[in-house]
Structure 1
Amino acid sequence: MSGACKGDEVITSKDKGTVMPTKLTIPDLAAKKAAGERLALLAVGEVLTARWAERAGIDIVGVGDSIGMTLYGHENTLSMSMDQMINHTRAVRTGAPNTMCVVSMPYGSYATREMAVINALRLMKESGCDAVKMQGGREKFDIIKAIADAGVPVMSQVGLVPHMVHKFGGFKMQGRTAEAAMEIVDNARAIEEAGAVGIEVEAMPYEVGKAVDESVSIFTAAIGAGSACTAQILNGYDVLGAFDTFKPKFAKRYANMSEIAVKAFAEFREDVVSGSFPDADHSYQMKPEEAQRLADMLREEKP
């Protein structure tokens, strides 16, 4: 991936000596949108996938509370805590130190302005992220503004808002009618007015995602919302085919890691049961003379 996709300068990575672009900055996001450039945003949750994402040239990594589902096996995202999000983001930051990182504020962490500011500042200080993301539109205007006024780069989300999954009756597409679409557009405008630097646009018809993107000047990132936005988001565990509990309509699997993993684990078990693992190539051995000395010592110990 060329430097134009991220920053203008390049650095040499300590990882295998590869050369990669410097990470995006917050001002870059609006500039990329204005220039009509497209970016790739991948949701990851630990050091390995973060490292792979950076090696692949992914523009932005997001640590979403969707890891509650992909890594913890919960039925939704609501149970994730601040401590968990901080710890996972630290791991991602370790794996992808040269990639912009946006972390989700977990459910309940921005219920009031005061709470939101404290938790947003804590995420920035303790996790190493570059921006935080909450959820909600006009109804969260004061909270978004409070975080922005505190000097924290903040994004928010419209459309399918997972923190309101119970209100929606499940993970369902939004913006089915013109009236519903206009409400989503209004929420996006409110997010920009409040001082946010970006908007996540999730699970809506292409026409609605396009209307959202054209209604704001700030960065937009779509997941299941068509191709109009500046960035496209997919969950890294969907991309890898590692998360196979279910597959959202908008998710595209580029690999089948779960099948590969199950096959590898099964072969490992077969080798253990048959006694073919570990073999000499996968075992440590003493020098022959030391092995003989050990055998002599053990023999001498016997009564």
Structure 2
Amino acid sequence: MSVARRTGAITPRDISAAKGSTPLVCLTAYTTPVARLVDPDCDVVLVGDSVGMVLHGLSSTLGVTLEMMIMHGKAVRRGLERALMVVDMPFGSYEEGPEQAMRNAARLMAETECAAVKIEGGETMAETIRFLSERGVPVMAHVGLTPQAVNALGGYRVQGKGLEAERIRRDALAVAEAGAFSVVLEKVPETLARRITEDVAIPTIGIGASPACDGQILVVDDMLGMFTDFRPKFVKRYAELAKQAETAVKSYAQEVRERRFPAPEHVFGE
């Protein structure tokens, strides 16, 4: 049975078994209300370190801390019943080695009650992914454009063009072999994402990748149009909430200044 038809809580094993089945629906969430909103229709809800940029105004994900991920993870957990909850391990919380990664992953899982963590990196992280997987920590991997390595990569550029394609492919194969239950492919050429999806035994989750991937993920604020000045090529806007919010705020401000709000129906009698 496809994950889309499950009525109970989804597990990492369910996601792994969805390879080649109905595409997996994945979105980010950082708060309880948004978690409740996306839960009925999503298979995976990621508490991404993108929260640093989306909610905290940081210029990158590098300033996100473990404490921030725990705080937002707890909030999202309160809003989920069905979707698999995955929490990003932030920059600096796992790169030293498997033991450091295990300590911090265990803390994330214990304090947020998430079912899995996500780690950026390919071949260099394979040993850590294997270490965690063998000790009961399900890992979603992330290769291609890895935002935590944005300085080393020279910006938010497409990864895997030309001769670099084989490196990204090796990364995906390495994390799959190490025990990851799925892998995010971010901002890679469509043909490469399609090839990797065919080559690896675990589901691929695309973001700026290919419709051939086993699933897709977007930052929820991006697809809802919560920003008026941010339109990456790989995001389709399914709403324009920022424009609607701007209109609503202007209407509110005008009514307050003209003493038309609150109206009689909004105040209390004696």
TMscore range, shorter length: over 0.9
Report if aligned partners of 1:70, 1:243 keep a CA contact under 8 Å in 2.
Answer: no
Corresponding residue of 1:296: none
Structure 2 unpaired stretches of 5+: none
Render the CA deviation track for 1:117-161: whole Å, top value 9, x for unaligned: 001111111112111001001111221112112210011111001
Question: 1:6, 1:24 within 8 Å by CA — same for their partners in 2?
Answer: no
> Which residue of 2 is the match for residue 28 of structure 1?
14
How many residues align structurally? 269
Residue identity in the other structure for 2:38: A
Q: In the TM superposition, what are the counterparts of 1:112-261 in structure 2 within 5 Å? A: 112-177=97-162, 179-261=163-245
Match 1:49 to one of 34, 37, 43:
34
Shift of 1:4: 4.3
Q: 2:266 aligns with which of 282, 292, 300?
A: 282
Tell me the SS of whatever aligns to 1:229.
coil
Q: Does 1:80 align with 2:64?
A: yes
- Which whole-Å CA distance do the structure 2 matches of 1:123 and 1:285 have between them? 50
Residue 6 of structure 1 aligns to a residue in which SS? helix
* Paired letter, 1:82: L
What letter is aligned with 1:134? I
User: 1:23 Cα deviation (Å)?
Assistant: 2.7
State the AA in 2 paired with 1:6. A
- Aligned residue number for residue 62 of structure 1: 46
More off after superposition, 80-89 vs 46-55: 46-55
Is the alpha carbon distance of 1:275 and 1:268 closer, same or farther for their aligned partners in structure 2, counting shifts above 3 Å? same
Larger Rg: 1
Q: Distance in 2 between matches of 1:68 and 1:107?
A: 11
Name the structure 1 match of 2:256.
272
Superimposed CA distance per residue, residues 182-236 of structure 1 (whole angstroms, 9 cap, x where no aligned partner):
1111111110121111111000111110111112111210100111211111110
In structure 1, give the amino acid aligned to 2:266: H
Q: Displaced runs of 4+ in structure 1, greater than 2 A? A: 3-8
Name the structure, 1 or 2, with higher relative contact order (CA <8 Å, separation 6+).
2
TM-score, length of structure 1 as denominator length: 0.85
Q: Structure 1: where are the runs of 5+ without partners?
A: 9-20, 287-303
In 2, the alpha carbon distance for the partners of 1:230 and 1:246 equals 26
Output the CA distance in 2 between the equivalents of 1:244 and 1:156.
31
Q: Which residue of 2 aligns with 1:6?
A: 4
CA distance in 2 between partners of 1:7 and 1:126 (Å): 29
State, as a whole percentage, how many aligned pairs show the same letter: 38
